[in-house]
Structure 1
């Protein structure tokens, strides 16, 4: 077995590989850019080597620097993680020529299946069902529009070397095909160094289901069940689960056997994934093969008990698989949500900055957190915005969802915006809970974007009770001075007013022998909690329901968040509430005459000039952040008064790009 391996990656996947290597007794070498000098993977590894500037093109994508780091540290093998150099056949060849082992498939398989155009041709030749499309090189946007019309709208434009939802667009007409081709090509060039784009028919009402395969260098290939990845936004997976709630055993077997046959056709060794699109009648079509470890691999590990990173290392060391297909048993259910540094209330725009508080839920029998950050770490604009992968496991899907909801409520992140409220809303959605989903789920259920979770009457009442309880505990602490002994719940002869959503709720709270009771009119609501002032999470039983709520202290109360719902609650005496009602409200500033940069990013293009007349929906500028291009459009008809930014400018959030008359 290898004594030392180098991980040619960063963030959570580097940390994930280090954990398995450490368990196997293998020493690890991390590489890092200037932006990652204080990163978690650098701290976890036995050794770390600096490889360059923050931009990936000057560090993580430079094969020569990776190989030099391996040579200088006497590493025997390289694990690429995913992204970056993981699917570059040229890199694999260079690793092998340097006398090192590559912990992944051979260059032949990467060449054959890592390229989407080539893989589709090979799949078709092998008799695998594929989606209709154009696999040839497309020279320009006009040709893309013509080909798209010939296939029949809607169509999908995809970067040949793409992955992770980058370089991908859906077009419903020729105009969108032209725009989509240009954007997909630009993203592909900047992310993968390969601007080839192909077009295929977009299957409506589709489900995205993929098969995990595992092969060795002795001709053995098995499949480890499937993952349902249909909950996507902008073609980026948001929620993954294993197994799929949609497949029956016959379809699972057929997809698995087809994935194995395709893998054997290219002598595939290592972990890989064959992705399919599945229609409502369980007809499935080959999409692509990812010749690497997938982001969502933990859900497969949890239901099979197989450590995929360990298997990759053993295969790279020349070992035979000790598992046969008959040994693979799917047990229980696992759900993974991707926690991202993005603001769902602002159209999921990227968020960068320092994690001033970072408290993930406690890991255990039902919770797993794969992360590459820590409290005080910085989320950079140079890399993918993923903070962590939150995985929950249970015997049944319903239980796995329940654990996921609880874990999301206990995931406390401050300093940047994040998508946990949106993830919690997804978990609470009746349609998701029923398993009735397609890749269009988010667009269909959130057509106007995410505006916050659904505040049910029960959750609203629970928030009022929690706020009153915490207020009583804090008031009790305030009276415990000078050796005096106060009542456990503080002074009780006070009528409280809890303000929420513009309503005032009159209530009081009484201490009991082992809990407290909140009085609202004639209603008595028991509450039991060991919360103490300063804790960022309220955990307790209200009525007969267990709750976890994130807490942000406000001058006159609390901001509470649970189940994707955030509300500000004001807790005042009845006299203070009456006086507060007389205070004037500060008006919001008018920004309607400005195009503001919605996220920190780099200006790629400004499409208008001073004096131009623009129409609602017209593209005004393009801003790139975290490797994704964002087209900013006019909200209404207007005249450009002045242009404040130009291509190449790095802008902060809310910086003015264009001023209108």
Structure 2
């Protein structure tokens, strides 16, 4: 077995590989850029080597820089993680020339399957059904429009070397095809150093289901069930689960056997994933093969008990696969939530900054439940503009789907992230959505259910009552503490009143609380709740029980109440005495400033180009400028017709959130 391996990656996947290597008794080497000097993967590894400036194209994807680190440390093998150099045949070739093992498939398989165009041709030759499209490379925007017209809109414009949703656009008309081609080409060049583009039919109402395969270099191959990855935004997976709530055993077997056959056709040896589009009749079509470890691999590990990273290392070491297809049994259900540094209230635009608070839920591995958090960040660390905005991959497992979802709800409520925008509220909303809980979702779920973006969660009345009851019981605890500190009472809690008025989510309720040693009985508008918990003022997380069911609230004290976050809702909760409530109703509300005639920068980023000039009349929907952040180009458009009065920023300028880019008459 290898004595030392180098991880040619960063963030959570580097930390993930280090954990398995440590379990196997293998020493690890981390690499890092200027921006990652104090990163978690650097702290975890046995050794760490600096490889260049912050931008990935000057550090993590510079093959010679990585090779130098390998030579310096004497690493015998390299795990590439995903992204960066993981599907780069030239990197695999460089390792082979150096006599260093690549913990991934052979170079020939990467070349055959890693390129989307070549892989589709091979799949067609192997008799695999593929999505209609043009396999040849697209030279320019005019040709992209012509081909799109021939295929028929909508079409998917893709980077040949793409992945992770980068370099990918959906076009519904000629204008979007032209615009999408150029944006995809730019993103592909920036992210992968390869700007080749192709176009295929975008299949409406699809499910995105993928099969995990594992092959060795001795001709053995198996599949480890499937993952449902249909909850996507901008072609980036957000929530994954295993198994799929849609497949039956016959379809699973057919997809699995086809996936293995395709892998073996290119002499594949390692862990890999064959992705399919599946329609409502369970017909499946080959989409692509990812010749690497997938971001969502933990859900497969949770339902099979197989450590995929360990298997990759053993295969790279030349070992024979010790697992047969009969050994793979799917046990229970697993969910994965991708926590991103992005603001769901601002159209999911990237967010950067320092993690002033980062407290994930405790990891658990029990007979009836599991919580796993794969992460590469820590409290006090910084989310950089240079890399993917993923904070963590939160996973839960339980014997059945409903219980796994409930475990995830509690885990998300317990996950404390402060200092940056993040998508926890949106994730919580999805897990409560009827289409998701029923399993009847497609890849169009987010576009269909949130067409105007995410505007927060409105809690149903039943949940609102539970939160109100907990808030009253908690506020009573605060008042007892204030009374004791002020000297208004000794040991007699009767001086704190029983009658309260609680206001939240636009609703006002009269409440009465009766306390005892174990908790409190709270009446909210005639509905009685039993509230228990050991929360004390100052704790940011309140783990309560209401009528025997768990209620986890992220808690901040405000004047006359709390800011409570629960199940995606962000609530300002006021708890007042009847007299205080009467007086508060007379207070005027402060109005927000008018920014309707300004274009504000919605995220930290750099202006790539400005499309208009002072004095120009613009129409609703017209492109005003392009802002790049975390390798993604974002086109900002006019919300209404107007005339440009002033432009405050130009190409190359770096802006913060809410900086004024331009003003209108």
The alpha carbon displacement at 1:327 in A equals: 1.1
What is the distance in 2 between the residues matched to 1:24 and 1:48? Answer: 19
Q: Is the 8 A contact 1:30 1:45 kept in 2?
A: yes
The alpha carbon displacement at 1:213 in A equals: 0.6
Aligned position for 1:538: 542
Aligned position for 2:607: 603
Judging changes above 3 Å, is the alpha-carbon distance between structure 1 residues 42 and 632 closer, same or farther for their aligned structure 2 residues? same
Q: Is the 8 A contact 1:472 1:490 kept in 2?
A: no
The alpha carbon displacement at 1:611 in A equals: 1.0
* Alignment of 1:71 onto 2:75: no
SS where residue 480 of structure 1 aligns? Answer: helix
Aligned position for 1:334: 334
Aligned position for 1:260: 260
Residue by residue over 1:174-209, the C-alpha shift from the partner in whole angstroms, topping out at 9 and shown as x without a partner, is 121111111111111111111111111111110000
Aligned position for 1:581: 585
Aligned mate of 2:652, from 625, 648, 651:
648
Gaps of 5+ in 2: none
* Alignment of 1:120 onto 2:120: yes
* Alignment of 1:516 onto 2:520: yes
What is the distance in 1 between the residues matched to 2:229 and 2:578? Answer: 51
Q: Is the 8 A contact 1:345 1:451 kept in 2?
A: yes
Aligned position for 2:433: 429
Q: Is the 8 A contact 2:466 2:529 kept in 1?
A: no
Residue by residue over 1:66-111, the C-alpha shift from the partner in whole angstroms, topping out at 9 and shown as x without a partner, is 1111111111111100000111000111111112111111110110
Aligned position for 2:397: 393
* Alignment of 1:550 onto 2:554: yes
The alpha carbon displacement at 1:244 in A equals: 0.6
What is the distance in 2 between the residues matched to 1:420 and 1:521? Answer: 31
SS where residue 498 of structure 1 aligns? Answer: strand
* Alignment of 1:419 onto 2:403: no
Aligned position for 2:272: 272
Aligned position for 2:631: 627
Residue by residue over 1:498-533, the C-alpha shift from the partner in whole angstroms, topping out at 9 and shown as x without a partner, is 222344322232212422111335443211111122
Aligned position for 1:158: 158
Given the two structures, how large is their TM-score scaled by the length of structure 2?
0.97
Trace 1:422-571 onto structure 2 (pairs within 5 A): 422-481=426-485, 491-571=495-575
What is the distance in 1 between the residues matched to 2:232 and 2:311? Answer: 28
What is the distance in 2 between the residues matched to 1:60 and 1:400? Answer: 36
What is the distance in 2 between the residues matched to 1:594 and 1:453? Answer: 27
Aligned position for 2:49: 49
What is the distance in 1 between the residues matched to 2:608 and 2:540? Answer: 40
The alpha carbon displacement at 1:490 in A equals: 6.7
SS where residue 440 of structure 2 aligns? Answer: coil
Aligned position for 2:210: 210
Aligned position for 2:38: 38
Q: Is the 8 A contact 1:489 1:511 kept in 2?
A: no
SS where residue 15 of structure 2 aligns? Answer: helix
Judging changes above 3 Å, is the alpha-carbon distance between structure 1 residues 488 and 305 closer, same or farther for their aligned structure 2 residues? farther
What is the distance in 2 between the residues matched to 1:148 and 1:214? Answer: 36
Aligned position for 1:246: 246
Judging changes above 3 Å, is the alpha-carbon distance between structure 1 residues 476 and 92 closer, same or farther for their aligned structure 2 residues? same
SS where residue 364 of structure 2 aligns? Answer: coil
SS where residue 245 of structure 1 aligns? Answer: coil
The alpha carbon displacement at 1:619 in A equals: 0.6
Aligned position for 2:306: 306
Aligned position for 2:353: 353
The alpha carbon displacement at 1:482 in A equals: 9.4
Residue by residue over 1:237-293, the C-alpha shift from the partner in whole angstroms, topping out at 9 and shown as x without a partner, is 011111111111111111111111111111001110000000111111100000000
The alpha carbon displacement at 1:51 in A equals: 1.2
The alpha carbon displacement at 1:481 in A equals: 4.4
Aligned mate of 1:572, from 560, 572, 576:
576
SS where residue 111 of structure 1 aligns? Answer: helix
The alpha carbon displacement at 1:484 in A equals: 9.8
Of the structure 1 ranges 519-528 and 633-642, higher mean CA displacement relative to structure 2 is found in 519-528
Judging changes above 3 Å, is the alpha-carbon distance between structure 1 residues 598 and 169 closer, same or farther for their aligned structure 2 residues? same
Q: Is the 8 A contact 2:167 2:188 kept in 1?
A: yes
Q: Is the 8 A contact 2:469 2:523 kept in 1?
A: no
Q: How many residues align?
A: 661
Aligned position for 2:616: 612
What is the distance in 1 between the residues matched to 2:489 and 2:288? Answer: 69
SS where residue 38 of structure 1 aligns? Answer: coil
What is the distance in 2 between the residues matched to 1:512 and 1:470? Answer: 13
What is the distance in 2 between the residues matched to 1:404 and 1:262? Answer: 34
Q: Is the 8 A contact 1:492 1:508 kept in 2?
A: no
What is the distance in 2 between the residues matched to 1:442 and 1:579? Answer: 43
Judging changes above 3 Å, is the alpha-carbon distance between structure 1 residues 582 and 49 closer, same or farther for their aligned structure 2 residues? same
What is the distance in 2 between the residues matched to 1:30 and 1:410? Answer: 31
Aligned position for 1:660: 664
What is the distance in 2 between the residues matched to 1:248 and 1:342? Answer: 35
What is the distance in 2 between the residues matched to 1:624 and 1:416? Answer: 18
Trace 1:165-204 onto structure 2 (pairs within 5 A): 165-204=165-204
Residue by residue over 1:352-377, the C-alpha shift from the partner in whole angstroms, topping out at 9 and shown as x without a partner, is 11111111011102210000111111
Instruction: Give the aligned CA root-mean-square deviation in angstroms.
Output: 1.5
Q: Is the 8 A contact 1:473 1:490 kept in 2?
A: no
What is the distance in 1 between the residues matched to 2:501 and 2:514? Answer: 15
Residue by residue over 1:396-454, the C-alpha shift from the partner in whole angstroms, topping out at 9 and shown as x without a partner, is 11111111111111111111111011101100111101110100011111111111123
Trace 1:4-19 onto structure 2 (pairs within 5 A): 4-19=4-19
Aligned position for 2:138: 138
Q: Is the 8 A contact 1:489 1:510 kept in 2?
A: no
What is the distance in 2 between the residues matched to 1:126 and 1:62? Answer: 35
What is the distance in 2 between the residues matched to 1:308 and 1:286? Answer: 23
SS where residue 326 of structure 1 aligns? Answer: helix
Gaps of 5+ in 1: none
What is the distance in 2 between the residues matched to 1:471 and 1:210? Answer: 49
The alpha carbon displacement at 1:170 in A equals: 1.0
SS where residue 451 of structure 1 aligns? Answer: coil
The alpha carbon displacement at 1:494 in A equals: 4.9
* Alignment of 1:86 onto 2:107: no
The alpha carbon displacement at 1:386 in A equals: 0.4
Structure 1: 4+ residue segments shifted above 6 A:
482-485
SS where residue 314 of structure 2 aligns? Answer: helix
